[in-house]
Amino acid sequence: MSEEAQVQEEYKVEDALVAINECLVAVHKRLEALETYVQELPTPEKTYYKPEGYPEYLNLPSNFKEIYRRIKELEDGMQD
């Protein structure tokens, strides 16, 4: 391989490495943004809903408990 061909090959490798590095930097930035977004998502304990007819807001687990209590009440009423 001539010296000129070797230099051209080195430039190609250098360009490829630069492109890979730029891709990795872009992926890193997107991953950081995703991690920040996920950290800011409310947990079920901080997700509130006020059912109709209730004086207070219920968090998600309390709301599920109330839903299942009402379903059980309906099921028990249908068995009579």
Query: Where is pLDDT greater, at 24 or 52?
Result: 24
Give pTM, 2 decimals: 0.54
Q: What is the DSSP letter of 30?
A: H
Cα separation values, 77 from 8, 29, 40, 54, 74, Å: 83, 56, 42, 22, 5
Quote helix, strand, coil % in the chain, to nearest 5: 75, 5, 20
Q: What is the pLDDT of residue 80?
A: 58
- What does the pLDDT look like over 31-53, one tens digit per residue? 999 999 999 988 888 889 888 88
State the pLDDT confidence band at 18, using cuts at 50, 70 and 90. Answer: very high
Q: What is the mean pLDDT of residues 47-64?
A: 90
Q: Does pLDDT of 54 surpass 70? A: yes
